[in-house]
Amino acid sequence: MLPALLSVVAGSADVISFLGLGGLFVAHITGNLVILAAHVVVHAPVGLASVLSVPEFIVVLALSRVLVARLEDAGHTSLRPMLALQAVLLIGFLVIAVAAVSPAHPNAAAAIVAGLLGVSAMAVQNALVQISIRGAPSTAVMTTDITRFVMDAGEVLLGRDPAAAAEARHRAAHTWPAIVGFAAGAAVGAALYGAIGLPSLALPTGLALASFICERWPAHR
């Protein structure tokens, strides 16, 4: 269930940042790239956070990989530290956004810092899903998950190889909760933003903390 919970985090953080930070996607980095290209072509103003989001995402991914390597070299598992790092980044995102950001000024320094903290948190989440939860579906790229799910469903229904069909059924069972989680997170995040604005970032932040706590609990039983 952890990937499903992280999908809710990504979906809610993405829609809230888009609505509250001038169209910035913190999880859907492809969206930022498309918006950036479109604005450049039509000579429209481009938000600095959108410009910085792609290199920021790449740098944090690389640093996350280095951190995981160091943890593994020291004999530690990487999942809990990565979940903790994501939660800390989301707390910073929430605090700065609520304390200093106006939705009308997405290019304000506080808005840029808040947005990049959100991008960093989602980069950490993408990294930990790839490295620390082997075989898990993406929690932020629904195009990939939906394609995988439909292809696996087709294999189950139309395939002639029982072993391949069983493998596809197993993958589909792990993929659909991430799809539903992201959609639910986006819907609830949008509704909360409409009701209370940027404080709605408490939703993905709280869920990230819950993910960390749930992963810690079995070690102390």
- Which tens digits make up the pLDDT trace of 98-154? 887 655 576 788 889 999 999 999 999 999 988 888 778 888 888 888 998 999 999
**Tens digit of pLDDT for each residue in 44-102?**
777 788 889 899 999 999 999 999 999 999 988 889 999 999 999 999 999 999 887 65
- Show the CA angle centred on residue 132, arms to residues 166 and 165, nearest 5°: 5
Sign of CA dihedral 146, 188, 120, 112: positive
pLDDT of residue 202: 95
- DSSP letters, the chain, are -HHHHHHHHHHHHHHHHHHHTTS--SS-HHHHHHHHHHHHHTT----HHHHHHHHHHHHHHHHHHHHHHHHHHTT--SHHHHHHHHHHHHHHHHHHHHHH--TT-TTSHHHHHHHHHHHHHHHHHHHHHHHTSTTPPPSS-HHHHHHHHHHHHHHHHH-S-HHHHHHHHHHHHHHHHHHHHHHHHHHHHHHHHHHHSGGGGHHHHHHHHHHHHHHHGGGG-
**Tens digit of pLDDT for each residue in 175-202?**
899 999 999 999 999 999 999 999 999 9
> Cα–Cα distances in Å, from 19 out to 70, 139, 159, 204?
37, 20, 43, 15
pLDDT of residue 216: 60
pLDDT of residue 103: 56
211 within 8 A of 5, measured Cβ to Cβ: yes
At residue 220 the predicted structure's pLDDT band, cuts being 50, 70 and 90, is very low
pLDDT of residue 6: 94
Residue type (1 letter), 54: V
CATH architecture, domain defined by 2-216: Up-down Bundle (1.20)
**Tens digit of pLDDT for each residue in 25-38?**
999 888 888 888 88
The pair of three-digit structure tokens given for residue 13, joined into one six-digit string: 């953080």
Question: What pTM does this model have?
Answer: 0.88
pLDDT of residue 67: 94
